[in-house]
Amino acid sequence: MQRLQVAARAGAPGSSVNGGELLMAALATCYCNDLYREAARLGIEIHGCEVVATAHFNGAGLAAEAIVYRARVASSATSDQIEHLLAETDRLAEVHNTLRSGCAVRRTPWHEPAA
């Protein structure tokens, strides 16, 4: 388990970021980490990368629409090698594949840990 602290919203109840923002952060972080993993597997050296993810949420309770991300990689590899790396990473990124699969989400009761 890893804890992630999120600051409270200034002057209002709730947190300073919303779930949609965290979802896009998860998507971008997953792709970034997986780029390095796949680059190592493919023998491509990466000097850095940047990933940006966006989505539209059109109202309370509505699912995200138009999830889009883009990435750029700093590397001495050829443009074909980088494109192959980007495509392989897109194919294997776990958060992306979870969203693409339409994974079921369900709520369960809260149980206090045993004393």
What are 15-47's pLDDT values in tens digits? 999 999 999 999 999 999 999 999 999 999 999
Distances from the Cα of 16 to the Cα of 6, 7, 33, 78, 79, angstroms? 7, 6, 25, 41, 39
Cβ 38 vs Cβ 85: under 8 Å: yes
Q: Which residue has the tokens 């002057």?
A: 11
What are 50-99's pLDDT values in tens digits? 999 999 999 988 999 899 999 999 999 999 999 999 999 999 999 999 99
φ, ψ (nearest 5 deg) of residue 96: -60, -45
Residue count of the chain, please give it. 115
Q: What is the pTM (predicted TM-score) of this model?
A: 0.87
Helices first, then strands: H and E counts in the chain: 3, 2
What are 12-22's pLDDT values in tens digits? 999 999 999 99
Distance CA 7, CA 14 (A): 9
